[in-house]
Amino acid sequence: MPRFRFVLILPMLLGALLTGCGSMSTSADKSSRKVYQGESFAAEETFSRLFDANVEATCEAARRALLSQGYVISKAETGVVRGAKHFQPGGEMHVEIAFNVVCVGDGPKQQVATAYVSAQQDRYALKKNPQAASLGVSALGSISVPLSSTDDSLVKVASETIPAGEFYDRFFVLMQRMLRENTNTER
């Protein structure tokens, strides 16, 4: 009789095990697929705006907008502006926002330009590594002595492109203001 139970229970256990493994890989597959499957490539204006100015003036407005908010410009060439700003919202948390702006001329004479903007947010956490010291004594060999000091380092814990439309709307409004101010001073 015990052998009969074993014969009945074994297929059920194997089936449950295979079902469990299958559901684990399925959930992992779903979470990895969600990222790229969420890309709609729709005609949205979250990351771009058309400006009534040429490429140079549009990118200069972007550069001035970033500078006015404390961003450090790492690249400012014809058609491209890159800048970053660092934040420390908590004692052991560090955040960096990096902007990338590309200005492309539009229209028959390139008299207007579209600014394509994306911002990336990287989060870092403070990681503490305990230090140990080795003491070499010729008769005893090497002895490792724990010390109370630690070596702190920032470790990247997350990185994402900022998806919030309101964030970019505020930036584009500031760019438009900088463009108007720069146009008024040239007259």
**Over residues 118-144, mean pLDDT:** 74
Amino acid found at 63: R
Indicate the pLDDT class of residue 184, thresholds 50, 70 and 90. Answer: confident
Indicate the pLDDT class of residue 148, thresholds 50, 70 and 90. Answer: low
**Over residues 81-100, mean pLDDT:** 94
Check residue 169 and give its pLDDT.
95
Check residue 25 and give its pLDDT.
47
Residues 43-125+155-186: name the CATH superfamily. Answer: Kinase associated domain 1, KA1 (3.30.310.80)
This model's pTM is above 0.85: no
Instruction: Map out the domains of the chain as residue ranges.
Output: 43-125+155-186
Query: DSSP of the chain, one letter per residue?
Result: -HHHHHHHHHHHHHHHHHHHHHHHHHHHHHHHHHHHHT-------SSEEEESS-HHHHHHHHHHHHHHTTPEEEEEETTEEEEEEEEEEETTEEEEEEEEEEEEEESTT--EEEEEEEEEEEEEEEEEEEEEEEEEETTTEEEEEEEEEEEEEEEEEEEEE---HHHHHHHHHHHHHHHHHHHHHH-
* 65 or 129, higher pLDDT: 65
Q: What is the pLDDT of residues 12-60, one digit of tens each?
A: 555 555 555 554 544 455 555 677 777 778 777 789 999 999 999 999 9
